[in-house]
Amino acid sequence: MIGLLLLKHIYGLSDEGICERWVHNPYFQFFTGEEFFQHAFPHERSDVSHWRKRLGDKLELLLAESLRVAHEAGALRSQDLKRVTVDTTVQPKAVSFPTDAKLLHAAIKGLNRLARRHGVKLRQSYARVAKAAAMMAGRYAHAKQFRRHQRQLRILRSRLGRIRDIRRKIEGQSALEEAFTLPLCRAAQIRSQPRNSSASAAGSFIPSMLRRWSASARARPPPLTSSA
């Protein structure tokens, strides 16, 4: 039973999975002490759960002891323990594709947050309008309704252009002008970029901009960018 639990832990199988695999795998049977191939599982499947609960967190200690004995017996070399190879191809990643709607929405949110942080009062934030337009743009693009999709993009571009009146409010204030110079340039770049334009000019800024501006709060004002 200890051998079954070790195999279950090593291969990441469920209780039912280790029982089914034991029946079809002669190596698993030999590892657990069988001398001849068995065509049926010799225990009740509930026994695996029962013994796992009895062992608790001692299973990892048993695995460590097994490795120590193998190392002392010469079956495991020291150099085999220096490097661990992990396949990460199936790990989930929080990657968001930088569409025009996402970039425009992120620019609007970023300028609003930066304005609040520096005490610059805007006539209107357009937060709700931009959020609804970005959501509908994604839905229309998924449904291949591209005329409606472009209409929502025009709404986002026009709202981003209205927020850019920050320039008039901070005119003559050197500290605020310095804080807003780069974000406003990025916002203008996002708003004016043509469709299917080359991403080489600002491609390096896209991941960091989406990651920073899509968050609820950041310690420092993040830069804006544009995408293809």
Among 81, 108, 137, give the residue marking a domain's end. Answer: 81
Q: How far is C-alpha 28 from the geometric centre of its chain's CA atoms? A: 36
On whether residue 193 sits in a domain, the answer given is yes
Q: What is the pLDDT along the chain (228 residues), one digit of tens a residue?
A: 777 877 887 788 888 888 888 888 888 888 888 888 888 888 877 887 777 777 777 777 777 887 788 888 887 787 777 777 776 666 666 666 778 888 888 888 888 888 888 888 888 888 899 999 999 999 999 899 999 999 999 999 988 888 767 888 888 888 888 888 888 888 888 888 776 554 433 444 444 554 555 444 344 444 444 444
Total tally of structural domains belonging to the chain: 2
On whether residue 56 sits in a domain, the answer given is yes
Q: In this structure, are 113 and 65 located in the same domain?
A: no
Q: In this structure, are 156 and 205 located in the same domain?
A: yes
Q: Domain of residue 76: give its range.
A: 2-81
What is the crossing angle of helices 100-117 and 127-142, to 10°? 170
Q: In this structure, are 144 and 177 located in the same domain?
A: yes
On whether residue 223 sits in a domain, the answer given is no
Q: In this structure, are 112 and 75 located in the same domain?
A: no
On whether residue 219 sits in a domain, the answer given is no
Task: Tell me the DSSP string of 161-175.
Answer: HHHTTHHHHSTT-HH
Q: In this structure, are 135 and 66 located in the same domain?
A: no
What is the crossing angle of helices 174-192 and 146-163, to 10°? 160
What is the crossing angle of helices 100-117 and 206-213, to 10°? 50
Judge contact between 185 and 201, C-beta under 8 A.
no
Q: Under 8 Å CB-to-CB from 11, ≥6 apart: which residues?
A: 18, 21
Rg of the chain on CA atoms, in Å: 29
Is 0.75 surpassed by the pTM of this model?
A: no
Q: Which two tokens stand for residue 161?
A: 């252009």
Cα–Cα dist 167/93, whole Å = 37
On whether residue 228 sits in a domain, the answer given is no
Characterize 74-89 residue by residue with b for buried, 16 or more Cβ atoms within 10 angstroms of its Cβ, and e for exposed. Answer: eeeeeeeeeeeeeeee
